[in-house]
A = this chain, B = another copy of it.
């Protein structure tokens, strides 16, 4: 009636047809906007309204595609797990030998966390996701599976032993990434800090998974009893 075509004000850009009541690719636009927010503001800075704003759409629009904020973030987390799995697979494929592959995967895991802190934190913020979503669970397991593949190569013995070793490897790199992101290992935002953290991780991995040819107890400097 009074204002037939007054779009709020495209804060960044409305991606497709200019004169649209219908967006056309709103799902993708919302996911991209959410990832942008996570990259700029971190996990705590995400807001459904801000995502809608960046997609050039009303605050109620996302609900028709994702139900609620958790649904949208679940989709973002799924893609995050897929990207993480890809990074792990890629890192392993570039090395030879199980220990070198595992080592590279650990570095890639933390590298991913440091490069995409917001996405990474959100991927493990179950209360903000639809934690029992089948695709999310599947994507998370697929990422963990990348570790288990290499561990199975490295470790002989029963499946239970392999599972224990995989849990150990995942826990270590995950904990290191989390602690690094919270600044427990020094500043993380500067390039210098980033490098120092990665060399610290390198030392940690060499300590926990030493070269199998050398006697590990000597490598670790354990006191002789």
A residues whose Cβ falls under 8 Å from a Cβ of B? 42-44, 98, 124, 126-128, 131, 140, 144, 154-157, 161, 164-165, 167-168, 170-179, 182-185, 200, 203-204, 207-208, 212-213, 215-217, 220-223, 225
Contact = CB atoms under 8 A, between A and B. Distances in A.
Contacts of A168: 172, 204, 207-208
B167 A171 contact: no
Nearest to A132: B183
Given A126-B182, A175-B176, 19 more contacts: A124-B178, A126-B183, A155-B223, A156-B222, A157-B221, A164-B203, A164-B207, A165-B220, A167-B185, A167-B204, A168-B172, A168-B207, A168-B208, A170-B175, A170-B184, A171-B171, A171-B173, A175-B175, A216-B217
A144 B182 CA distance: 14
A147 to B, nearest CB: 12
The CB with the most chain B CB atoms within 10 A, among A42, A170, A220, is that of A220
Nearest to A177: B175
A119 to B, nearest CB: 15
